[in-house]
Chains A and B, each alone.
Chain A
Amino acid sequence: MADPNQSEQKPADGDLSDAELLELFAGHGVYRDNAAQYRGRLDGQLLINRCADCARYHQPPRPMCPNCWSFDVVPTPVSGRGTIHLLMYLHAGPPADGVDYHNGGHPVVVVELEEQEHLRVTGTVHEFGPNEPSIGDAVELDFLDRGGAPIVAFRPSHPTELNHPTKPDQPSLQEHRSQD
């Protein structure tokens, strides 16, 4: 893994300047302490800050490890595999390419990554076909493109196993959003 400080002098993805990065990801909330993660997206990588001293990951990216107070935190590629922990549908919101707030709404998920308990990232889901995504589903990373800016998205890990309509003992989010 490259020294994260190196990116300040010479961006790892080649020639995108800090100003260009901020412009490409306008509205994403890019700042000094998470810029490496956005540069990682341009390389097709999901980077999570990991402490070089205690090996703990943390989210969202901070300049110091909240577990051991080391400043030696390294944006580290992760597998992108995990399970859906939180799930909602937006029926209104800021306009964005490819986002449909109607027809059931735009899904937003929080996925718990397999690397560490409670380590999560937020994104959207797709490629579920006729199935409804559910809390607990196994998913894997699949960036979506939005005007050149890769968006964190997840697709089912095992599409053939997703033939579960909503489990009978669980409330269906679909049941609620169908009123839209």
Chain B
Amino acid sequence: MARSPMKDQIAIVGVGSTGFSRGDRSPLSLALEASTAAIRDAGLTAADIDGVVATAEAGAASAPLVVSSLGLTEVSHHSRPAPLIMFSLLDAAQAVFAGTADHVLIVTPVMMSSWNSRRATQDPWRRGARSSILPVPEDSANANAYATWAGRYMHEFGASKDPFARIAVNSRSNAAANELAAMRKPLSFDEYHAGRMIRTPLNMFDMDYPADGADAFVVTTAQRAAQLPQPPVLIHAATTGVYGKNTEDQLPSLKRHGQHVVVDHLKARSDLWIDDVDLFYPYEGFTIIALSWLENCGFCEMGGAERYLAEHWNDERQRIEIDGRIPLNTHGGSLSEGATRGTGHLREAVIQLRGQAGARQVEGAKVALVTPGGFFFNSQGAILRSA
């Protein structure tokens, strides 16, 4: 067992969300609504917050700007990690664990922007960020990488688009019951397969849905959490991981990348693993990422997702239920709730573990596996548990 002194010592005690839509508010406005909601949810006030973790997401406010806009007196920890929520959660948790701050606010707004939304290029408030120098089309980095490696996956394992479709349909079916979600209209398999191709083999339904919104969280010690109003959710294990050969076109194979690093480190630090989890939140900024998390976490063998998802499909509810028990992305994920960079996956896990998910509630859920990020530079994961 690897060293894991922070296990169960840090709790998420507040969450706040604006919900996600194609709106007309600034990222700061969304960030402040989510922040105040999360602080109130935690039963705290501005005077209690002594740490702020902002995000380096494009257009998002810096930590000092959040501090001044919230009217905080002063904070002893502030930072601005890369997007994708586990960078923020780990930073906040480590600050509390180290004693740098006691009640840390994490705030993570996202905005549809000119690089991921054609509509945003028509919006004078957003298009300013677009560079006048056009990139070269022959690029295998970033989003293109998931199309190239999805094609490689299909080639190596003889997979069809069926498992990709199941990830997309599952997210949409679950989003129907989530009032925070941007896309709640059901998606059929026929509609999925007829989706406009963007980067063959990936179509528009294989890619997250750009939207505006913000999530916020409050993190403190497990001891302090016991005195606060919400049922505490403990961080049992959390990690990020990057593989050495992580340049998108140089990755030696699908057998080893950031997801494998994350899984190995989580398993080495956790008393709980997939047989113990009630909830699974595999990030699906692209469908191939969720299929890979499913396989790399060990629910099935590499290349086995097509068979496995067909076997664990609830046809009546049009969604995945592993062993009839573990649903995936109960909030609708990045494909349907909105492109939240994993903040929605984390928030939904917390709400489910509190038993507050209403019509979406998984009865008796006590342990959640949350795995944001792709293969190359933002793979990450956490195991959360109710106290």
Contact = CB atoms under 8 A, between A and B. Distances in A.
A169 B135 contact: no
Contact of B151 (A105, A135, A169): A135
A170 B155 CA distance: 6
A110 B148 contact: yes
A39 interface: no
B281 to A, nearest CB: 27
Contacts of B252: 118
Contacts of B203: 176, 179
Nearest to A171: B154
Interface stretch (A1-9, A85-93, A156-164): A85-93
Interface string A16-45: 000000000011110000000000000000
B269 to A, nearest CB: 28
Most chain A CB atoms below 10 A, which of B139, B151, B200: B200
Contact of A152 (B135, B138, B159, B161): B138
A171 B158 contact: yes
Contacts of B144: 88, 90, 108
B65 interface: no
B136 A180 contact: no
A124 interface: yes
Given A91-B200, A176-B161, A179-B193, A86 B151 contact: yes
Interface string A88-103: 1111111110010000
A94 B134 contact: yes
Interface in B138-160: 138-140, 144, 147-149, 151-152, 154-155, 158-160
A86 B250 CA distance: 11
Interface string A75-93: 0000000000111111111
Contact of B155 (A110, A171, A179): A171
A125 to B, nearest CB: 10
Contacts of A121: 249
Contact of A118 (B160, B201, B250): B250
Interface residues of B, number: 34
Contact of B138 (A92, A123, A180): A123
Tell me the interface secondary structure of chain A in the complex. loop
Nearest to A136: B155
B197 to A, nearest CB: 4
B118 to A, nearest CB: 8
Contacts of A89: 197, 199-200
B137 interface: yes
A90 B137 contact: yes
A173 B151 contact: yes
Given A91-B200, A93-B137, A177-B200, A110 B158 contact: no
A97 to B, nearest CB: 11
Contacts of B154: 171, 173
A122 B138 contact: yes
A175 B104 CA distance: 51
Contact of A135 (B155, B159, B245, B250): B155
A122 B201 contact: no
B197 A110 contact: no
Instruction: Kindly list the 3 A-B residue pairs having the minimum CB-CB distance in the complex, ordered from nearest.
Output: A86-B148, A177-B200, A89-B200
22 contacts: A28-B136, A86-B148, A86-B152, A87-B148, A88-B140, A88-B201, A89-B199, A90-B144, A91-B196, A91-B200, A92-B198, A94-B134, A96-B137, A99-B137, A108-B139, A118-B250, A121-B249, A124-B137, A135-B155, A173-B201, A176-B201, A177-B201
Interface of A: 26-29, 59-60, 85-96, 99, 105-106, 108, 110, 118-124, 135, 151-152, 169-171, 173, 176-177, 179-180
Given A135-B151, A180-B197, 7 more contacts: A86-B148, A88-B200, A91-B198, A96-B137, A106-B137, A122-B249, A173-B201
